[in-house]
Amino acid sequence: MKDAQNHGHDLRLDLNLITGHSEGKLEWARKTGLFSHCRIIKADLDLLGMMLCGGAIGAASCYPDAIEFERENRDRADEFDLPDDRNPLEDCLGFQFHMIEPGGAFIVIARDFQLI
């Protein structure tokens, strides 16, 4: 979702999270993951693979050093860089999600994350 006033973009993901287990049964809760002031979103998703595997996330990681994380995951020329005075990478966090195979993966670099 675009926030034109603040020159930014937010990403909301509806999640069905495992919150616990008892007596062999899983406990679930519906939550929303809100990534605020996104700088970069990179997706390599196989939508058919996600559908066949239930769209589940197999692994997720957060990286506090978004500059190094972006450098390791860059797929554009090193000499091409945008001025980042509005949303500098050093103010961001890096997030990487791997879907259950063959669903793919996606990356989000954003200033903030909340689970609501």
Spatial CB neighbours of 93, under 8 Å, sequence gap ≥ 6:
62, 63, 64, 66, 109, 110, 111, 112, 113
- The boundaries of the domain holding residue 109 are 2-115
User: In whole numbers, what is the pLDDT of the chain averaged over residues?
Assistant: 84
Share of the chain above pLDDT 70, in %: 83
Give how many domains the chain has, as a whole number.
1
Average pLDDT over residues 14-37: 89
Report the pLDDT value the prediction gives residue 37, as an integer from 0 to 100: 92
pLDDT at 62 over 90: yes
